[in-house]
Amino acid sequence: MKIKIALISSEHTNKAQDLSSKLQNAMEAGEMAAVDQLTQELISLADSEYSLSLSEEYWQQLIEKVRATDDDFKSDYIIAKPQLKTIIAASVAESFADVSGVIEQALKADGVILQLPFEGEEADV
């Protein structure tokens, strides 16, 4: 399993959050055709310039480091500004410079981060 991390600009934030809720509902209902469609719609909103494919293990290491500083941290499909600030505050920049770069760009652009698991062969990291 891989994790896609991508910037979604501020102009697409509301649509991304709506699609994220629909995706969560489709996942819970086991509606795989809807899951595939919603996933593609979310990915289409992402900025390919600020996009990474990570190994699940790498992403889990980052989340563990963040949770060491904030027990309540949650990473949903859409990671919004308060969560992005929590990640930065956890001092992950040195260990996870690639992810930190995408997060910092999202904060500068007042955007959000899309975080989606997917089946894939290769990860950037």
Cα angle 67, 23, 11; round to 5: 80
Residues facing residue 4 across a β-bridge: 53, 116
pTM of the model: 0.87
How far apart are alpha carbons 76 and 74 in whole angstroms? 6
pLDDT at residue 67, rounded to an integer? 95
Residues facing residue 78 across a β-bridge: 114
Write the pLDDT tens digit of every residue in 20-50: 999 999 999 999 999 999 999 999 999 989 9
How far apart are alpha carbons 9 and 53 in whole angstroms? 18
Write the pLDDT tens digit of every residue in 55-64: 999 999 999 9
